[in-house]
Amino acid sequence: MNLLIIEGSPFPVSKTEVIAEEIKSQIEQPEHKVDIVKLSEWDIPILGSGKTEDVEKLKRLAEEADAFIIGTPNYHTSFSGALKNVLDHLSTDEFEMKPVGLFCVSGGMRNTDPLTQLRLVMRGLHGLTIPTQISAADADFEKDESGHPYLYNQGVKQRISVMIDSLTELVYKVK
Ligand SMILES: Cc1cc2nc3c(=O)[nH]c(=O)nc-3n(C[C@H](O)[C@H](O)[C@H](O)COP(=O)(O)O)c2cc1C
């Protein structure tokens, strides 16, 4: 499986990124190829304001992907604007009938509203969003000595494993 993870936090120190890395670490490589698009590192301008090498790379990786996992922080009960901008650079050409897994990280209470809204966007892109999703919150993380967050809640780690299995199963069914 060729998996593209798009993590939608615009911040360099990010719990959304921590989950993206956890997903990558749980997927066997080199049997599977996993790339992560980190919005804090990638130069993806607002749609309509020019193209960059990273936009070209994003499109190439999305085209080559067999499946996507898309993660976002909860921003005002929705997904981040930065993530929407990345998705606006893509189209049904890259997503048509490809399995998609979703996750989000909220600040206070766990909340699935951002995921429900992302499901609608995925429908617009003709992606096959799987039922299993991950909704984490700040309380699922602790900080290490350098102040960097790590995933503390083992239940979330197990849920990630279940989502990867569901996604992988669907990838081989639609191939
Ligand atoms: C602009 C903004 C809006 C936010 N809105 C919400 C919200 O509506 N509900 C919530 O639970 N947390 C909200 N948060 C908190 C973030 O979802 C939370 O801190 C999350 O862990 C951030 O993800 P990150 O560490 O990957 O950047 C908001 C944070 C920001 C910066």
Confidence (pLDDT) at 30: 87
Burial (CB < 10 A; 0-12, 13-18, 19+), residue 74, is buried
Confidence (pLDDT) at 28: 83
Q: Tell me how far apart the alpha carbons of residues 33 and 168 are, in angstroms, rounded to a whole number.
A: 12
Q: Which atom of ligand 1 is nearest to the CA of 17?
A: 26
User: Which of 74, 84, 140, when mutated, tests ligand 1's pocket best, judged by the most ligand atoms within 8 Å of its CB?
Assistant: 74
Nearest Cα residue to atom 8 of ligand 1: 76
pTM: 0.97
Ligand 1 site residues (CB inside 6 A) read 9, 11, 14-16, 73-77, 105-108, 111, 138
User: Along the 175 residues of the chain, how does pLDDT read in single tens digits?
Assistant: 999 999 999 999 999 999 999 999 999 878 999 999 999 999 999 999 999 999 999 999 999 999 999 999 999 999 999 999 999 999 999 999 999 999 999 999 999 999 999 999 999 999 999 999 999 999 999 999 999 999 999 999 999 999 999 999 999 999 8
**Domain count for the chain:** 1
Domain that includes residue 101, residue range: 2-174
CATH number where 144 lies = 3.40.50.360
Q: Which atom of ligand 1 is nearest to the CA of 77?
A: 8
Contact by Cβ (8 Å): 107, 137: yes
